[in-house]
Each structure stands twice: as C-alpha cells, then as structure tokens.
Amino acid sequence: MAALKVHPKVYWIWNHRGWCLNNVPSGPGTEDEGDPRGWEKDLWNKRVVCVLAWSYRRVVLASMPIPRPETSELAYTTRKIEANFSNFSAWHQRSKVLLSLWSKGELDPKNSREDEFDLVHDAMYTDPKDQSVWIYHPLARWFRSACFLPLSIQNSRDIQGDDKEILEREITIIQSLLDEEPDSKWCMESLVHYKSLLLRNHSLSANTSTLRRECIALLKQLREVDSGRKARYDEIELELAKS
C-alpha cells in the first residue's frame, strides 16, 4: 500500500498486489492492508479515476468469498459518475456491469437503457467537451458491445440501430446541444454517426438527400475544428457517397 500511495499509476505494483491477494490473502500486513473494503477508503477515493485502480477493483470483486451484487456495483458507478462526469473508468465499469446484468436476465435492457440515456444527457450538457460521455453514449457504446449480449438482445431493434424513433430523438437532443456549443466536435461526430445510421437503416422512410447533405456539411466543419483527423473525415464522406 505504501508503494501505491507514492506510485499509483505503476502497473506492476497493482499486479503484485493482486498476486498477494490470491496467494497471501490474510497477510502479512497491517489491519488496513487486509481490509476487504480498502478501495472505499482514502487511497481509493483519491485515485477514483485511475484505470489501474479500477482494474484492481474488478480483481477484488471477483475474489470476494461472498460476491457483491452487481446491482450494488451499478449504484456505486452512478455515485462516482455523478461526482465526476469525466471519470471514464467509472463509465467503463458501468458498461461491463450492465452487459453482465443483461446477459443474466437480471435487468431489463429496454428500461435500463432509458435510464442510461438520461444519465448521459445530463453529462453531455454539463460538459460537452468531455470525451468520456461521448465514448459511452448508449447507441455508440452498445452497437460495439452487442456481440457480448445474448442473441435475443443482439437482434433487438435498439441494438441494431433499427429504432428510428430513438435515432431521431438522439439527433434532436445532440443538435440542440450543438446549437449551444457550435464548435463541439463530439456533437458533430455523433450527429454524422447517427444520421448515417438513418441513411443505412431507414432509407425508405427518411429524407436521404437532406441527411447526406447535412452529414457532408458537418464533416466540412469537423475538418476545420479537428484538422488532425482530416483524412478520417474524408474517408467517412466517401462511405456516405456509397450509401
């Protein structure tokens, strides 16, 4: 523990501590060293955004004799995210817990997804420039994670992006935020992504020419505000031309 207080971002210290947990669970060490709730004390709260600390937390949770309910862990991530929307590690932990709860049938994907949208919207409007929330945004996050879900959930309209109502709702919300933050690259990237999904999945009922024109205009803005990724936006525009 003393080494971690000085070097909290050194992987091998966390790794060795994990080895000790598995091989010498009862000591040697002080009373605090053996505390199974040690991550909730001073050091953990100071390093609450440290990726290595969260990885070690998962090791501890997996090794507990009496498993901690995953719903409790979900509530814990809620508290940490509400305290700091920039805590990407908490968002990541939340995604893992949700996927596990869904796969076990212990949480309804549709209802819980709406709760996630509410949480994400709060974070988006609090700090539009923070990448953590945009990486986690439910549609983008769960499209990429769908392969880990049961087939019944993988094939749902929500995961596949076939729910036009949700796509249009999110586009409206993000567009409203972009109107307030006109230089937000995360808003622009998300709008291009979701409008592209409308083009791909709802071409028969959507105004494809307008959507394509709007995407191209957004990509032009992105090249200006994020010039380092110009080639990426060129590639996206080429893909749009094929859709």
Query: Do 77 and 56 lie in a common domain?
Result: no
Query: Do 136 and 124 lie in a common domain?
Result: yes
For 139, other C-beta atoms within 10 Å of its C-beta total 21
pLDDT computed for residue 63 by the predictor: 78
**Structural domain boundaries, residue 4:** 1-16+50-65
pLDDT computed for residue 218 by the predictor: 97
Both tokens of 87, joined, read 């805590």
Taking only the tens place, the pLDDT of each residue in 7-53 is 566 665 667 777 777 776 665 555 444 454 554 455 555 545 577 77
In a domain, 212, yes or no: yes
Query: Do 78 and 104 lie in a common domain?
Result: yes
On the question of a cis peptide bond just before residue 28, with omega within 30 degrees of 0, the verdict is: yes
Query: Do 207 and 186 lie in a common domain?
Result: yes
pLDDT computed for residue 148 by the predictor: 47
pLDDT computed for residue 8 by the predictor: 62
Query: Do 61 and 74 lie in a common domain?
Result: no
Both tokens of 230, joined, read 């110009």
Q: Is the pLDDT of residue 213 over 90?
A: yes
Taking only the tens place, the pLDDT of each residue in 93-125 is 998 899 899 888 899 888 888 899 999 999 999
In a domain, 166, yes or no: no
In a domain, 239, yes or no: yes
DSSP code of 49?
Answer: T
In a domain, 243, yes or no: yes
Q: Which of 137, 160, 183 is the last residue of a domain?
A: 160
Query: Do 60 and 5 lie in a common domain?
Result: yes
- As for how many domains the chain has, the answer is 3
Q: Is the pLDDT of residue 232 over 80?
A: yes
pLDDT band at 233 (very low <50, low <70, confident <90, very high): very high
Q: Please state the rounded mean pLDDT for residues 79-103.
A: 90
pLDDT computed for residue 39 by the predictor: 46
pLDDT band at 68 (very low <50, low <70, confident <90, very high): confident
Residue 29: left (phi > 0), alpha (psi -120 to 50), or beta? left
User: Does residue 92 contact residue 105 with C-beta atoms inside 8 Å?
Assistant: no
Q: Is the pLDDT of residue 134 over 80?
A: yes
In a domain, 24, yes or no: no
Q: Which of 108, 125, 160 is the last residue of a domain?
A: 160
Q: Please state the rounded mean pLDDT for residues 173-179.
A: 97
Highest mean pLDDT among 38-42, 43-47, 88-92, 154-158: 88-92
100-105 contacts: CB < 8 A, separation 24 or more? 100/70, 101/70, 101/71, 101/74, 102/149, 102/150, 102/153, 103/148, 103/149, 103/150, 103/153
Question: Which residue did the predictor score with more confidence, 225 or 64?
Answer: 225
Query: Do 180 and 242 lie in a common domain?
Result: yes
Query: Do 183 and 126 lie in a common domain?
Result: no
Q: Is the pLDDT of residue 161 over 60?
A: no
Query: Do 76 and 59 lie in a common domain?
Result: no
Q: Which of 160, 184, 210 is the last residue of a domain?
A: 160
In a domain, 40, yes or no: no
In a domain, 27, yes or no: no
pLDDT computed for residue 34 by the predictor: 47
